[in-house]
């Protein structure tokens, strides 16, 4: 009797990927045989980094995980999961308000396609980190080095330069 590998998706826009994202991805990689980091293509939202740049950074910072792959998706996450035989979505929760939003998404995903959601509490040291906050702090010259991988910090500095620094 053969068993199929346990697979999960960690979805998001990852603009940019943070240490909080990597904590959830790494912990999911310990629980599942394969973790697919599913990067949303959203044509209505202009990010700081292009979709390809985000894929590149994610590939680089997850290279040490043999069971993590990076893929793009657009449209409904459940359609991506169904097409890739992924029965579980792993979502990190930082604060209670994350749960309010993510619970609705989880219930919809289950209702549409039977895709389960695993809520993973974020490591407290990353609970205040968001991609938006990281971009804002970096824009004004703040030190973000402890909150993102070095490759991301370097790309943020290069992209944002000294445009807003006093």
Token reading at 21: 């994202």
> 126: annotated binding-site residue?
yes
> 93: annotated binding-site residue?
yes
Distance of CA 69 to the CA centre of its chain: 12
Q: What is the pTM (predicted TM-score) of this model?
A: 0.92
> 91: annotated binding-site residue?
yes
Q: How far is CA 112 from CA 78, 106, 116, in A?
A: 7, 10, 11
Give the three-class secondary structure for 82. helix
> 21: annotated binding-site residue?
yes
Instruction: Catalogue the active-site residues.
Output: 21, 45, 94, 131
pLDDT at 163: 54
Contact 58, 17 (CB under 8 A): yes
Per-residue pLDDT tens, the chain, 166 aa: give them: 446 779 999 999 999 999 999 999 999 999 999 999 999 998 787 889 999 999 999 999 999 999 999 999 999 999 999 999 999 999 999 988 889 999 999 999 999 999 999 999 999 999 999 999 999 999 998 999 999 999 999 999 999 875 544 4
> 102: annotated binding-site residue?
yes
Residue ranges of domains in the chain, CATH in brackets: 7-127 (3.40.50.620)
């Amino acid at each position: 009797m053969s068993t199929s590998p346990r697979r999960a998706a960690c979805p998001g826009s990852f603009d940019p990927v943070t240490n909080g994202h990597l904590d959830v991805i790494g912990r999911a990689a310990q629980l599942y045989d394969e973790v697919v980091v599913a990067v949303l293509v959203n044509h209505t939202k202009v990010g700081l980094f292009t979709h390809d740049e985000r894929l590149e950074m994610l590939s680089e910072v997850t290279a040490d995980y043999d069971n993590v792959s990076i893929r793009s998706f657009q449209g409904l996450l459940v359609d991506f999961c169904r097409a890739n035989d992924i029965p579980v979505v792993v979502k990190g929760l930082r604060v209670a308000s994350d749960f309010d939003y993510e619970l609705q998404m989880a219930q919809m995903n289950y209702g549409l396609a039977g895709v389960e959601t695993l809520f993973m509490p974020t490591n407290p040291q990353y609970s205040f980190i968001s991609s938006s906050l990281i971009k804002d702090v970096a824009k004004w010259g703040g030190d973000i080095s402890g909150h993102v991988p070095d490759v991301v910090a370097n790309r943020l500095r290069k992209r944002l330069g000294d445009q807003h620094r006093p």
